[in-house]
Amino acid sequence: MKAIKKTTNRRNFLLAAGLGGAGVAAAVVARAPNAPAKLAGAEAAQPTSYHASEHVKKYYKTTEV
Protein backbone atom coordinates (compact mmCIF):
# COMPACT_ATOMS: atom_id res chain seq x y z
CA MET A 1 0.00 0.00 0.00
CA LYS A 2 1.07 3.50 -0.67
CA ALA A 3 1.28 5.98 2.15
CA ILE A 4 -1.46 8.59 1.99
CA LYS A 5 -0.03 12.07 1.83
CA LYS A 6 -1.97 14.37 4.11
CA THR A 7 -2.49 17.88 2.92
CA THR A 8 -2.49 20.61 5.50
CA ASN A 9 -3.57 23.43 3.23
CA ARG A 10 -6.90 23.83 5.00
CA ARG A 11 -5.25 23.74 8.40
CA ASN A 12 -2.67 26.34 7.36
CA PHE A 13 -5.40 28.55 5.92
CA LEU A 14 -7.42 28.46 9.14
CA LEU A 15 -4.29 29.18 11.18
CA ALA A 16 -3.42 32.16 8.99
CA ALA A 17 -6.98 33.46 9.12
CA GLY A 18 -6.98 33.26 12.92
CA LEU A 19 -3.66 35.05 13.20
CA GLY A 20 -4.78 37.68 10.71
CA GLY A 21 -7.94 38.30 12.72
CA ALA A 22 -5.90 38.65 15.90
CA GLY A 23 -3.65 41.15 14.15
CA VAL A 24 -6.61 43.23 13.03
CA ALA A 25 -8.07 43.17 16.54
CA ALA A 26 -4.74 44.31 17.99
CA ALA A 27 -4.57 47.17 15.49
CA VAL A 28 -8.09 48.30 16.39
CA VAL A 29 -7.32 48.21 20.11
CA ALA A 30 -4.09 50.12 19.55
CA ARG A 31 -5.98 52.95 17.82
CA ALA A 32 -8.83 53.03 20.38
CA PRO A 33 -7.32 55.69 22.72
CA ASN A 34 -7.34 58.19 19.85
CA ALA A 35 -11.01 57.59 19.05
CA PRO A 36 -12.54 59.71 21.88
CA ALA A 37 -10.45 62.71 20.89
CA LYS A 38 -11.70 62.49 17.32
CA LEU A 39 -15.25 61.99 18.54
CA ALA A 40 -15.07 65.12 20.68
CA GLY A 41 -13.84 67.05 17.66
CA ALA A 42 -16.73 65.73 15.56
CA GLU A 43 -19.25 66.81 18.20
CA ALA A 44 -17.75 70.29 18.24
CA ALA A 45 -18.19 70.48 14.46
CA GLN A 46 -21.97 69.96 14.74
CA PRO A 47 -23.93 73.10 14.00
CA THR A 48 -25.48 74.66 17.09
CA SER A 49 -28.65 75.65 15.25
CA TYR A 50 -30.02 72.08 15.20
CA HIS A 51 -33.48 71.58 16.61
CA ALA A 52 -35.53 68.41 16.65
CA SER A 53 -38.67 68.75 14.56
CA GLU A 54 -41.96 67.13 15.52
CA HIS A 55 -41.49 64.04 13.35
CA VAL A 56 -38.03 63.50 14.86
CA LYS A 57 -39.47 63.81 18.37
CA LYS A 58 -42.14 61.24 17.46
CA TYR A 59 -39.43 58.87 16.23
CA TYR A 60 -37.48 59.31 19.46
CA LYS A 61 -40.63 58.42 21.41
CA THR A 62 -41.01 55.19 19.44
CA THR A 63 -37.45 54.12 20.34
CA GLU A 64 -37.91 54.44 24.10
CA VAL A 65 -37.81 51.18 25.97
36 residue type, one letter? P
Domain for residue 65, yes or no?
no
Q: Which domain holds residue 24?
A: 9-43
Q: How many domains does the chain divide into?
A: 1
Domain for residue 35, yes or no?
yes
Residue 3 in this model has a pLDDT that exceeds 70 = no
pLDDT tens-place string over residues 21-63 = 888 888 777 776 655 555 555 565 666 677 889 999 999 999 9
Which position has the higher pLDDT, 62 or 6?
62
Predicted local confidence at residue 55, as pLDDT = 92
Domain for residue 29, yes or no?
yes
Domain for residue 22, yes or no?
yes
- 60 Cβ contact partners less than 8 Å away, ≥ 6 residues apart: 52
Domain for residue 4, yes or no?
no
